[in-house]
Structure 1
Amino acid sequence: MNFSISLTVNGVRREIELDDPRVTLLDLLRERLDLTGAKKGCDRGQCGACTVLVNGRRINSCLALAVSQDGADILTIEGVAHGDQLHPVQAAFIAHDAFQCGFCTPGQVMSGIGLITEGQAGDDPERVREGMSGNLCRCGAYAGITEAVLEAQQTLANSEQRRSA
């Protein structure tokens, strides 16, 4: 039995036929759509390496069935930059050396974007650390990650103020 789903992935509408209802969103993104930024770390929802935004909210794509995302708007790390213009979270990660080996970086960036978009970042480092606690970094780049999210949150808030002025 085949299942037809329709997704908007990084702004592009995709019609997908699934032959197995057990396919996770992560496997669909990586294996069928060749979007390999989201990583398969633990495959149990414990590390955050597979974080993507679904309808503007952070999820662990390894835990979400693809069929349950029918009609969803999905944003992956491949879709956050605009051409050569990095997203403010990506730029802040570079500026604050918020990565070492880079394996967790796509999930960390997506989680940071989600945290800011959800209005949960604030300006308190502890609040950011708590909000990002579902994303693990084996290299221990947490200080840079926290600084990067705080800077990006401020950058985005300032640009929003300029637009509304």
Structure 2
Amino acid sequence: MIFAIILVLVPLVGRGEEQKTSTVITSNTMTASSEKNQAIFQGSVKMVQGELVVYSDVMIVNFKEKPSSGSSASASGTKSESGKEIDYIEAKGRVRIIKGDSRATSQHALYYKAEEKVILTGSPVAWQTGTKISGPKMTMFLKENRSVVEGGTRVIIEDSE
């Protein structure tokens, strides 16, 4: 069973890439707060980072503040024009993740950039080529190419005929 979980979830997020990939986020509205070091995207939110595509109702991009950086209202790259870097991204409401032939859905997702870790909660389900996995909490460790499903796992493997 653990092997099946790894086979399904690891290809979903792929290997941690050594090269920097731009992050592009589009939405109906964006509100930036330099005090909070974040940008909030609402309505038809779509994030693209390399082959990874994430959709949600709301996406909150939280920035690390560098000592010499100013404020930022942009999340169109790993590092914004003001020198801020993405710390973590929170996606809320009807979260869909697509990468290649793999996909996942949940109500909530957290992506921790430095750790290259994604945590899915709120009825997460992942699919890939005839295999479906669900559980209360899914954690994907991108650098390590491994995934963990906690709190009771259900795996459905379709027979290939």
What range describes the TM-score normalised by the shorter chain of this pair? under 0.3
TM-score (normalised: structure 2)? 0.28
- The structure where helix makes up a greater share of residues is 1
